[in-house]
Copies of this chain bind each other. A is one copy, B any other.
Amino acid sequence: MSVRVGIIGVGVMGSDHARILATQVPGATIGAIYDADPARARSIADETGAAKVFADAVALIQDAAVDAVLVASPDQTHKDLTLAAIAAGKPVLCEKPLAPTPGECLEVLAAEAKSGRRLVQIGYMRRFDPSYAEMKAGLRSGRLGSALMFHCIHRNVAAPSWFDSKMAVSNSAVHEFDIARWMLDAELTGISVFRPKPAKGSSPGAPVYLVLESATGQLVTIEVFNDAAYGYDVRGELVCEKGTIALRAPLRTETNAELIQGTAYPVDWRPRFADAYRLQAQAWINSIGHGGSAGASAWDGYAASAVAEAGLLSLAEGRRVAIELADQPALYR
């Protein structure tokens, strides 16, 4: 039987999720759609064959024709909708962040722990990206010894005008926080944030540079540069005792023209992470009904938020900030 997914929020992210579930994921159908904009909800429902359109997100969550919930509405709504899904006993895939602050994330942890089972997955889709997966498999093979450093780069073509360095930490770098924790199988324990300060003034997406330590002693370095202009580019190199492993972005062709041998960068994250989104959705659907869970947990969502909070303090005060986490509930061990 197909899992009937209710989609909450069909902006850029949510409508992509709906299309992926409808056309690339066996075992899933779109059961219902809610959006603050009813016309948009209707349009995506028609496109994806959704059975129902709701005018209220909680009503969608509670509807008997919805087996599982995907939350892609604005960030500040994530926590309450996730709590509602837990209350309804339904699996929920919540886009990152789980909540704007670690404190709010802890509310979700408490509710899920109380429910006694894992219902929440956070949309840190990079864990399903074949490149990160192959890097992790390479590390686990032991061939290169232990990991010592993990260098990460995150570049966008252009940040929107309302972006700033704080968002580079809390909104962009969280993807790196999560993937570093997952790659190294360790919590992050300290963070130092640096900023270049070019004479000519700064842009919304001006770079920030982060150096973190892990509980197992590795250094994680992260460049976030959202006005990088030249293309969407996410890189990673894992430096081990006997060698290194670096990500390769998906490339289909190379072109020789006009005195350049070149390969193309995408303008945004979608081509880069198309496989990751598809495989994340498939793994989520496959886990439903099998008592399992896939991908980043609510704990992972909390931990990324805690690192971001420390990073914002480091950004403000120009010094290293230690990262303190709450005790981990037994459900997540």
CA of A247 to CA of B256 in the docked complex: distance in angstroms? 12
Question: CA of A190 to CA of B256 in the docked complex: distance in angstroms?
Answer: 28
Choose, from A21-29, A38-46, A83-91, the stretch at the interface. Answer: A21-29
Q: Are B221 and A198 in contact (CB under 8 A)?
A: no
Mark out the residues of chain A between 213 and 260 whose CB falls within 8 Å of any chain B CB in the assembled complex. 213, 216-219, 221, 223, 225, 227-231, 233, 239, 241-248, 250-260
Given contacts A26-B25, A207-B149, A255-B243, contact A262 B265 (CB under 8 A): no
B residues within 8 A CB of A280?
none
Main secondary structure of the interface of A (DSSP, over half): mixed
| B residues near A242, Cβ cutoff 8 Å | 229-230, 257
A254 to B235, CA, bound (A): 12
Q: Look across to chain B and name the residue whose beta carbon is closest to the beta carbon of A246.
A: B254
Taking residues whose C-beta sits less than 8 angstroms from the other chain, chain A's interface range is 35 or more
Stretch at the interface among A138-146, A175-183, A296-304: A138-146
CA distance A251 to B27 in the complex (A): 29
C-alpha spacing A282/B26, complex, angstroms: 11
Q: Which residues of A190-221 are within 8 A (CB) of B?
A: 192, 194-200, 206-207, 209, 211, 213, 216-219, 221
**A136 (CB) vs chain B CBs: closest residue:** B253
Q: What is the bound-complex CA distance between A205 and B250, given in angstroms?
A: 31
Complex Cα–Cα for A259 and B187 (A): 32
Decide yes or no whether A267 CB sits under 8 A from chain B. yes
Q: Which residue of B lies closest to A27 (CB)?
A: B26
Q: Are B261 and A255 in contact (CB under 8 A)?
A: no
In the complex, the answer to whether A252 meets B26 with C-beta atoms within 8 Å is no
**Nearest B-chain residue to A265, judged by Cβ:** B259
Within 8 A of B (CB), among A1-54: 22-28
A167 on interface, CB distance cutoff 8 Å: no
Stretch at the interface among A55-63, A113-121, A127-135: A127-135
Chain B residues whose CB sits within 8 angstroms of the CB of A138 once the complex forms: 253, 255
Question: A198-B218, A230-B244, A262-B262 are contacts. A148–B257 as well, Cβ < 8 Å?
Answer: no
Instruction: Enumerate 28 A-B pairs (CB-CB under 8 Å) in ascending A order.
Output: A24-B282, A134-B252, A134-B253, A135-B252, A135-B253, A146-B198, A148-B196, A148-B225, A149-B207, A149-B209, A149-B223, A194-B213, A196-B219, A198-B218, A207-B239, A209-B219, A211-B211, A221-B221, A228-B243, A228-B244, A229-B243, A233-B256, A244-B256, A245-B256, A248-B251, A256-B265, A259-B267, A260-B260
